[in-house]
Amino acid sequence: MRVKATVEVARLIPSYGFKGVEKYKDKKGEERTQWVTVWTKEQVREGETLEVSGDLSVKIESFTGRDNVPKQVAAININNPTITRSEMPF
């Protein structure tokens, strides 16, 4: 399945890609944050806003949280991305 998202680069994964944050409002009007890992060799900078489209994959990841409690999350990944830099109005 192909997806398209506008994300802000939050953290670089050198030689592999980056973690991005997509912010949106849910149906109740509350602000939500969605983390996405984009696998690419393209050079990006932290804080940059990008439009990313690519193949969606989701997998369950397990980890131990800061509170020392085991947790599971659905990790969202975008593979084979096409990246477009968002136009910033100045």
- Domains of the chain, by residue range, sit at 2-85
* pLDDT tens profile 19-75: 999 998 999 999 999 999 999 999 999 999 999 999 999 999 999 999 999 999 999
What's the pTM value of the predicted model, to 2 decimals?
Answer: 0.84
Output the pLDDT for position 37: 97
Q: What is the distance, to the nearest Å, from the Cα of residue 9 to the centroid of all Cα atoms in its chain?
A: 8
| CA pair distance 34, 30, nearest whole angstrom | 13
For residue 61, list its beta bridge partners: 73
Domain 2-85 CATH class label: mainly beta
